Amino acid sequence: MVFPEDPASDIQAALNALGYRNPLYGSNARIDLHGAYLSGAYLPGANLADANLRGAHLNYAMLERANLHGAILERANLSAATLQRANLRGANLYFADLSVAYLGGADLRSANLSRANPSRANLEDANLTSADLGGANLYGANLSRANLKDANLTGADLRRANLHGANRDDAKR
């Protein structure tokens, strides 16, 4: 497996300044990093709520416990990213590449994952209540103990997916 180089130290410093802003001090302006090349970025616990990350390259990024509530991640590359226990509630991940990403325990309530590619991703214990997974490629994904209550799974590819212990109450298939 080939891993990308870490972002240059000046780029990582800028990301830290953006991602760890104190909302009590400073601007409430939306962070706009659409199309940015941030492969391998290290941002655990970062506050990227409502950020525009459309088309951003965040493959191999460390975003554990990051706040991405309401973030725009359409067509973003998050392959092999670590999003364990991240807050992605209401995030727009339309057509995003989440292949082999780690989303264990992530909060994806009401997130838009339609046409996304979380194939072989680990979504163990993830909360996908009311999420839209219509047409998503979940081939080989680990959804064990995931909460899929009221989720839209219409047209989703669930072949070889692990759904052991998953709550699929009222999920649309």
31 vs 158, higher pLDDT: 158
Q: How far is CA 169 from CA 80, 130, 139, in A?
A: 29, 11, 21
- Please state the domain extents for the chain: 36-173
- The CATH number given to 36-173 is 2.160.20.80
Give residue 5's pLDDT: 58
The CA distance from 51 to 153, in Å, is 26
Tokens of 109: 């309530």
pLDDT at 10 over 60: no
pLDDT at 13 over 80: no
